[in-house]
Amino acid sequence: DGGVLMETDFGELLENKELHLPSPTSFDDRRDVCLPFTFLGDEAFPLKENLMKPYPNKGITHDEKIFNYRMCRARRVVENAFGILATRFRVLLSTMNVSVERAEIIVLACCTLHNFLRQKSPTYLTQSSVDWEDTSAGQLNEGEWRQNTQELLGFKRMRRDGREQSIANAVRGWYKSFYNNEGSVDFQEKMINKR
């Protein structure tokens, strides 16, 4: 979550802009604007130049709803992966009273076992294991893992820096514009209107 992120080597490298991410790039038809590659977070994470989060739902505009839907759709891949992992390896569903280093080892062991089982067992994951969208009906169908887990741990909010926040808001605004114009997909209107 957002609080744990900054305790990791990855979080520290992200914060200090030392991750050696690819250079910002332009979209095919918008060569005048270069946007950074970003990671996706939820409300618990701070908005940063390379870390996007959804707009708050209160007073949200249509274009912001589209942005949130597209972010949610992309984040769902991670939620499915973690949800399936956590239902198989229940140690991930509760607080680990261990050091950050030990927690990293536990998580890596779970990921290794998960990947091994995915490759070796045809029944480990089925189509119904993951969330999927019926875009013709504008409906989200939840994966089986969601019935087998309680709400995951709450998130700790992180501090925000004013200048960083300003840059991050501009980046999020450009992505919002892209998702509502040349980057739109034909089913996004149907999906946000069904929510």
Distant-in-sequence, close-in-space partners of 15: CB < 8 Å, separation ≥ 6: 6
Cα distance between residue 192 and residue 190, in whole Å:
6
Tell me the per-residue pLDDT of 23-53, one tens digit each, with 9 for 90 and over.
Answer: 998 876 666 778 899 999 888 888 888 999 9
d(CA 16, CA 14): 5
Judged on CB neighbours under 10 Å (0-12, 13-18, 19+), 172 is buried
Strands (E), the chain: 25-27, 30-35, 39-40, 51-52, 132-134, 139-141
Burial class, 55, CB count within 10 angstroms (exposed 0-12 / middle 13-18 / buried 19+)? buried
CA–CA separation, 71 vs 73, rounded Å?
5
- Taking the model in full, what pTM does it have? 0.70
Poorest-confidence range of 110-114, 119-123, 156-160?
156-160
Backbone phi, then psi, for 54, in 5-degree steps?
Answer: -70, 160
Nearest to 181 by CA among 44, 61, 29: 29
From 52-66, 102-116, 118-132, the region with the lowest mean pLDDT: 118-132
Please count the helices (runs of H) and the strands (runs of E) in the chain: 6, 6
Distance of alpha carbon 48 from alpha carbon 177, whole angstroms: 18
**pLDDT tens digits, one per residue of 178-194:** 888 888 888 888 888 87
Cα end-to-end span (Å), the chain: 25
Residue 151, pLDDT above cutoff 60: no
Return the pLDDT at 102. 93
pLDDT confidence band for 154 (50 / 70 / 90):
very low
Task: Please return the burial class of 105, using the count of CB atoms within 10 Å of its CB with bins 0-12, 13-18 and 19+.
Answer: exposed
